[in-house]
Structure 1
Amino acid sequence: MPNTASAPLLHNVQRVKVLSAGIASLILMIGIARFAYTPMLPLMQQHAGLGVAQGGWLAAFNYAGYFCGALIAANISDLAKKDRLYRLGLLVALATTVGLGLTQNFWLWGLLRFFSGLSSAAGLLLGSGLVMHWLLRHQLRSELGIHFIGMGSGIFFTALFVYLVAGQISWQQHWFWFTALGCLLAIPAWFWLPKPNTSGYNVGGEKMVDRPPSQQFLQTFMLAYFCAGVGYAVITTFIVAHVNQITGDHEYGSVTFMIIGLAAAPACIIWDLVARKLGNLNALLLAFVLQFTGMLIPILSPGLIWTFIGAGLFGGTFIGIVSLVLTMAGRYFPTRPAKMMGKMTLSYGVAQMAAPAAAGVLSQWSGSYQLSIIISCGIMFLGCGLIYRLRHHE
């Protein structure tokens, strides 16, 4: 007689392992391969000869890679192929991270940042899509927000590491330590995410059916997400350098980025709860408005305390916007969530390519990052209006 009492325990163990695999993959492919560059930017400018405009271009190269990855994700329906590309992304994340510490050639840096962007897309779109598919298939929709904890955690821990060891090791050694941590994270990210089930049915035997929104809704949704992408890209690329510039102290920038990461870590779960209470679009509108406020506060009141408050608002909302949008994609398309996730990220990706490059050039011309941040606030405000309009056209 089979031991049925052990079945729930085994299911819970597998659920924890899948969620842990997803969180570990996001810390590696988003937190390290993508966001470690932000707290590292001032160090590379001081010790590796990286210019202000060049810093913006390296961010743009990274976002170009992310854009290409989103394009690939949007055009792949085969779950087995997505699984293979996700695992390749883990290896690319490690290779590009260690590579940044092995050269001081700007064009090689650009190539590495491009491929790290590809790996980030593999983590956020393909990996998240695979985790979502597993959760939805096992009727665990309420746990979608837990997966995205990895994004905020990755941002916080990379900023904390740079803050704690800055001045004690070289900028190259920072990248080598990040790679060592990434190797540890790659183990659960690789082995604890099972191969995808392609049956199209959940564990209860019900067929998983896609319920896509209208084309007009999708187009407006993508344009609003583009606006959020501009605000996100400018702030996450330049906030550390901006705070260092206005305070004259190189520690405050890293602290600001840590606050962003600390606020982002629990944000996905919080916004998932808010969405259940208010509805997806109402929650998304609130997140847009609060992100805009978080971006605007340091400009209107540039004191350090207000900057930290703005950073907390921004961190708690930009990650919420991403998780809400990608979770909505999973609910509209439970059989192929990465497809809509990829399409949404294309609009976000265009903003991420154009905004940092333009902001870097503008900042070099003006001598500060303030004008770039003000312009990105204006675009974010437009995004708030678009989401408000969507509430009446779902």
Structure 2
Amino acid sequence: MDSMDKRIVFRYLMAGGAALAVVHALGRFSFTPLLPYFIDDHMLTITQGADLATINYAGYLIGALIAVRYSGPNVIKKFLLIGLLGNALVTVIQCFVPQFAWLLVLRLFNGVSNGIVFVLAPALLLEWLITKNKAHLSGLVYFGVGGGLLAGGVLVDSTASYFTAEYRWIPVAIVSSALAIFSAFRFYQLKIQPIDYKASNGAKATLFDHRSIPLFLSYIGAGLGYILPMTFLPTLAHETMPADSLLVKNVWAITSLSSLLFIPLWNGIGHRFGDRISLIYTYILQALGVGSILLFPSTWGILICAVFIGGSFLGSVMCTQRLARYFQPHQGPRLSAALIAIYAGSQLIGPWLAKVWIEYGGTLLQSFALGLGAFIWGLFWTWRTPKA
């Protein structure tokens, strides 16, 4: 690949990463470090935060299902651009809306647009990279999620003393809007041949077979397991540690930085030893992360959980996507959309169960046991996934 091709590949990897940063890291997960501040500002309660997270994940599921329907070669780019720019617009509107009822609507639309883009952007980029014989680089697009998580945490915490209530969204909205415009411009320029969804014998490929079913089942554990720490870990740190603790102020930055640093590791292990092996290791580390906070609900437990969950959840996503496409190479974006729908459906349950547990007298920390069980489930079914 000559220097011109390298620049083109890098350009579109940057566009894909920026798109995921806008919809998933900034639009969605900036709510996680913001939630403790919203509670301190008396704008939200912990149960209202759980409701907002739940409806956002419901929207994510709806968006993924929409992407299944509109992932065809003639419409994929149009719906990708609508979802991307719409997500940034919702983030901007949130800067001026403190009412809980309207926030429910906005977080729903944020989730829908997030689901659409999170499916279509990596899927479209993967199909394009395959035409360039560079499919192994597809995992690098998730640098956008890791970088966006880190940027969102830094933006929230560094500007906390300058804003209150709904205005805390303003720094996130500014960065999100700029990245959305850059990414939309690049994806508008992307050219790719129509995607064929039929198998080589001309028959319509099926999503579920003896190879893919264990992988789909394991992905349920991935979604349910990671969502509680990724929604409530900063809030848990605020509840269990002194307010002036350095970790309380930086737990989301540690989680985000870990996700950024571990991406090359999972991409490299998957490329060299196979995505199945890499996927098994991601489940083990995430189970250890949640287990550590249950055993040591203090500084060390929270730190280990932040590093292991932050560093591994994107590995589960990228390795599952690539392994599924290896089993069913003719599915393309349709397969990616189905996986994200399963992922979204499972993570939808987590915040709701945490809310129910708290309302019945349990603690937020105790609800993390659900995540440990989910990762054990995911590890079991990954182990039963056929070797590629």
Report if TM-score (shorter chain) is over 0.5: yes
Question: Does residue 278 of structure 2 align to residue 283 of structure 1?
Answer: yes
8 Å contact kept, 2:227–2:350: yes
Aligned partner letter, 1:290: L
Tell me the residue number matched to 1:328. Answer: 323
Tell me the residue number matched to 2:385. Answer: 390
Structure 1 residues 25-34 or 356-365, which shifts more?
A: 356-365
Tell me the residue number matched to 2:60. Answer: 66
- The alignment covers a number of residue pairs equal to 381
Question: Does residue 350 of structure 2 align to residue 355 of structure 1?
Answer: yes
Tell me the residue number matched to 2:48. Answer: 54
- State the 1:171 CA deviation: 3.3
Question: Does residue 272 of structure 2 align to residue 308 of structure 1?
Answer: no
- State the 1:379 CA deviation: 2.2
User: What pairs with 1:171-250 in structure 2 (closer than 5 Å)?
Assistant: 171-193=165-187, 194-199=189-194, 215-249=209-243
Report sequence identity in percent: 24
Q: Pick the aligned partner of 1:35 from 29, 34, 50.
A: 29
Q: Pick the aligned partner of 1:121 from 112, 115, 136.
A: 115
- State the 1:258 CA deviation: 1.1
8 Å contact kept, 1:268–1:319: yes
Tell me the residue number matched to 2:92. Answer: 98
CA distance in structure 2 between the partners assigned to 1:92 and 1:349 by the alignment: 19
Per-residue CA deviations over 1:297-341 (Å, capped at 9, x if unaligned) read 111122313321221111111111011112234444555522111
- State the 1:26 CA deviation: 1.0
CA distance in structure 1 between the partners assigned to 2:42 and 2:76 by the alignment: 37
8 Å contact kept, 2:30–2:149: yes
RMSD: 2.3
Aligned partner letter, 1:26: L
CA distance in structure 1 between the partners assigned to 2:249 and 2:114 by the alignment: 22
Question: Does residue 264 of structure 2 align to residue 269 of structure 1?
Answer: yes
Aligned partner letter, 1:278: F
Structure 1 residues 290-299 or 359-368, which shifts more?
A: 359-368
CA distance in structure 2 between the partners assigned to 1:114 and 1:164 by the alignment: 27
- State the 1:158 CA deviation: 0.7
Aligned partner letter, 1:380: F
Query: Taking structure 1 as the reference length, what is the TM-score of the superposition?
Result: 0.90
Per-residue CA deviations over 1:352-393 (Å, capped at 9, x if unaligned) read 21111111231343352111101221222122111112246x
Other structure's SS at 1:224 match: helix
8 Å contact kept, 1:233–1:351: no
8 Å contact kept, 2:72–2:195: no
- State the 1:33 CA deviation: 0.7
- State the 1:219 CA deviation: 2.4
Uncovered stretches (5+) of structure 1, i.e. residues with no partner: 1-6, 202-206
CA distance in structure 2 between the partners assigned to 1:241 and 1:367 by the alignment: 15
8 Å contact kept, 1:295–1:377: yes
User: What pairs with 1:364-379 in structure 2 (closer than 5 Å)?
Assistant: 364-366=359-361, 368-379=363-374
Tell me the residue number matched to 1:14. Answer: 8
Per-residue CA deviations over 1:177-213 (Å, capped at 9, x if unaligned) read 2111112112320112233422459xxxxx9x99988
Query: Taking structure 2 as the reference length, what is the TM-score of the superposition?
Result: 0.91
